[in-house]
Each structure stands twice: as structure tokens, then as C-alpha cells.
Amino acid sequence: MTAEDDRTWCSLTYDYEKDQQWGYCKDCSVRIMGGHHCCYFPFLYNGVLQTSCLQTPRPRGDFIRHKRWCSMYPDFDKKGVWKYCID
């Protein structure tokens, strides 16, 4: 992917940092703030499969009232990586 490329990429594995495998996303219905990445749907949160951004008490880190967030990986319970959704 080049700097000029505005297509969104997605991890092809559960652990991108380890595997470094990616491809262009088929559909990015929800992007995250501050990047070209997409939310990963569905994702597991507290043992429940989620299909949209959540507005719950912060999973970790900063929490801005009325901001929705999503997981960056299929299993939030395991990875704990999240970002705010673009409204």
C-alpha cells in the first residue's frame, strides 16, 4: 500500500503485529478516528458478539462521553485493542 492509496486495509489474521498479513477490505462500513483502518465486525466483547460500535464505559484508556468505539480485532476480550468510531 502506498501513501497515495486511499483504500482501507484489513488484517487477514487475528494478530497483525505478529503475522503482518493484510489485504484491502471488501467493505468498510465504519472507519476509526485518525486513520484508514476499519472497525472489525463482528467482534467479541464480554462474551457477546457485537455487530456495531458500542457506547459503553471505556474498555481501557480515555473515554469521551457519547463517543462510540469498536474493536480492531475479532476477539476484543483477548486482544483489548480498540479505537473510536467516526460518527
Q: Return the pLDDT at 2.
A: 43
pTM over 0.85: no
Cβ atoms of 62 and 82 within 8 Å: the answer is: no
Q: In DSSP terms, which residues pair with 71 in a beta bridge?
A: 82
Report the pLDDT value the prediction gives residue 17, as an integer from 0 to 100: 82
Model confidence pLDDT, tens digit, residues 21-47: 887 765 666 667 666 677 888 888 988
Contact 69, 84 (CB under 8 A): yes
- Whole-Å CA distances, 48 to 8, 42, 43, 64, 76: 26, 10, 8, 23, 10
